[in-house]
Amino acid sequence: MDPHAPLLQTLQTLTSVLPEKLQRPRIGIVCGSGLSGLVESFREVEMVPYENLPGFARSTVSGHKSALAFGLLGEGEGVPVVAMLGRFHRYEGHDFPTIVYPIRVMARLGVKNIIITNAAGSLNPSIPVGTIVVIQDHLALPNMTGSNPLLGPPTSPSHARFLPLSDAYSPSLRRLAFLSAHKLALPREALAEGTYAWVCGPTYETPAEGRMLRHAGADVVGMSTVPEVVVAREEGMNVLVMSLVTNFVVIPERYRSIRDEVEAELLGKKIELPKEDVVSHDEVLAVGRQKAEVMKKLVGSIVELIPTAPDLQ
Ligand SMILES: O=P(O)(O)O[C@H]1O[C@H](CO)[C@@H](O)[C@H]1O
Ligand SMILES: Nc1nc2[nH]cnc2c(=O)[nH]1
């Protein structure tokens, strides 16, 4: 099936199930691993399961639900928003048109600003677990090596064939993230700025891969987000990405030397071994749960500020 074909059907389905005031969301939100709780601050919520929406796949990853949540967020009348509770990753076997389909739907609903969240591993010793990193740039090895989400014929004749990405991460939205942190009296170190490296997954990085990404200039690494960013930019949206650091990528200062161990053993000596560490998705989800409240408040505050920023309308 051509995943672009059912766009009209998806939009018709949404119009038929949503009350009028939720049909034209102004802001889109993508909830990363363990971050679907962002929807708890929505009012008048309408959930639309992906299985009811033509063109939508299902998320197969734990910590990702499979529904769009429509609602109002913020003081007073509230801003109409739509959130993806569950995203699609390349490692699940979804093709790129399927992964980015919900972003194209959001664009057609009228979304102009999108807040994309994710869980990510830190490559930067000065960005510890629990930090929310406001992404200022990305490093996408798949894009550079033949797995670009825009491969193939353009989705629409109005889209640029060669999309610039030097301005992908909206300075105005990033500004609102830091203003919001100030408004919420978050400690300065709660937020950082950095570059996201996108890898395909589902394997986590080897130490050598982590070291390479760090040397190449990335601060955090994850298996999502960039396809959504690329397509959101193609669709003309302003993009904000916030990565919650859930773990350090394992980059030991020195490798455990099996030769040294064997030689010491043969000499009857004991040597001190460097600590061995591995990351797990359970750990990723646990940090997501711990930080869900801060992320929720931050997103809520940014959503309230967006209508006050003239360049984001
Ligand atoms: O990027 P999100 O979907 O938040 O999830 C991140 O966490 C999962 C790995 O633990 C991967 O899917 C990675 O991309
Ligand atoms: N690739 C990658 N994705 C993650 N998502 C959460 N943590 C990590 C990580 O360490 N590496």
CATH code where residue 244 lies: 3.40.50.1580
pLDDT of amino acid 258: 87
Report the pocket of ligand 1 as residue ranges, CB < 6 Å. 32-33, 61, 87, 89, 118-119, 201, 222-225, 281, 284
pLDDT of amino acid 34: 78
pLDDT of amino acid 5: 63
Does the residue 1 lie in any domain?
A: no
Atom of ligand 1 nearest to the CA of 285: 10
Query: Pairing relation of β-strands 43-49 and 67-73?
Result: antiparallel
Q: Which residue has the higher pLDDT, 61 or 63?
A: 61
pLDDT of amino acid 3: 46
Residue 307 has pLDDT above 90, yes or no: yes
278 C-beta neighbours (distance < 10 Å), count: 8
Q: Which residue has the higher pLDDT, 276 or 152?
A: 152
Residue 271 has pLDDT above 80, yes or no: no
Does the residue 23 lie in any domain?
A: yes
Q: What is the pLDDT of residues 95-126, one digit of tens each?
A: 999 999 999 999 999 999 999 999 999 999 99
Residue 179 has pLDDT above 60, yes or no: yes
Name the one residue in this structure whose structure tokens are 């409240």: 293
* Enclosing domain of residue 117: 18-156+163-312
Q: What is the pLDDT of residues 9-25, one digit of tens each?
A: 999 999 999 999 999 99
Does the residue 168 lie in any domain?
A: yes
Mutate-to-test residue for ligand 2 from 219, 247, 291, highest number of ligand atoms within 8 A of CB: 247
Q: What is the pLDDT of residues 223-236, one digit of tens each?
A: 999 999 999 999 99
Does the residue 9 lie in any domain?
A: no
Q: State the DSSP H helix or E strand holding residue 68, giving kind and residue range, or none if neither.
A: strand 67-73
Atom of ligand 1 nearest to the CA of 281: 10
Rounded average pLDDT over 260-277: 83
Does the residue 13 lie in any domain?
A: no
Which of 52, 91, 190, 212 is an active site residue? 91
Give which of 29, 230, 247 is closest to 119, Cα–Cα. Answer: 247
Residue 2 has pLDDT above 70, yes or no: no
Give which of 32, 174, 132, 18 is closest to 81, Cα–Cα. Answer: 18
Residue 61 has pLDDT above 90, yes or no: no
pLDDT of amino acid 77: 87
Rounded average pLDDT over 124-153: 95
Which of 67, 168, 223, 295 is an active site residue? 223
Residue 1 has pLDDT above 50, yes or no: no
Bridge partners (DSSP) of residue 266 are none
Query: Pairing relation of β-strands 113-122 and 132-140?
Result: unpaired
Known binding-site residues for phosphate equal 33, 64, 87-89, 119, 224
Does the residue 3 lie in any domain?
A: no
Query: Pairing relation of β-strands 113-122 and 79-85?
Result: unpaired
Domain count, the chain: 1
- What residues contact 268, with CB distance under 8 A and at least 6 apart? none
Mutate-to-test residue for ligand 1 from 85, 229, 284, highest number of ligand atoms within 8 A of CB: 284
Does the residue 39 lie in any domain?
A: yes
Instruction: Give the CA distances from residue 148 to residues 13, 92, 99, 198, 297, in Å, rounded to whole numbers and listed in that order.
Output: 30, 16, 12, 11, 33
pLDDT of amino acid 207: 93
Rounded average pLDDT over 166-177: 97
Does the residue 2 lie in any domain?
A: no
Which of 59, 89, 168, 304 is an active site residue? 89
